[in-house]
Amino acid sequence: MNGNWDGAFIAKSVDRGISAWSTTAEEVSRELPKLAAEIEERLAAAPWGVGAEGEAFLRAHFSDGGPTEMIAQCKRLAEEIVDVGDRLRQAIDNTRQTDADIDHDLTRMTREV
């Protein structure tokens, strides 16, 4: 391979991949709040009890943020999944438009010569 990009293009299968990414991102955005609320509700019920053993479990379970930190990280990850898909789609659209513009310019140059 000589490193030349002549003839390189973005295959239409990219559209299917981006659509699948978007579908998954939408599902994550829709389902995560429900799951997080369910976990938070169950944590609020304090099923570990109020005795010494319950207090020990609570301290161990919530050390370093515990499940609340996990929920926060999942929410940030879900936002990133949506954002990456949007940015990737924009990058692909920009690349395709640039390719079309270059092709148009090259066609005009050929005619003018």
CA 112, CA 110: separation in Å to the nearest integer?
6
pTM above 0.85? no
Residue 43 has pLDDT above 50, yes or no: yes
* Residue with more model confidence, 1 or 3: 3
Please, are residues 31 and 81 in contact by the beta-carbon 8 Å criterion?
Answer: no
Residue 11 has pLDDT above 70, yes or no: no
Q: How confident is the model at residue 109 (pLDDT cuts 50, 70, 90)?
A: confident
Residue 112 has pLDDT above 60, yes or no: no
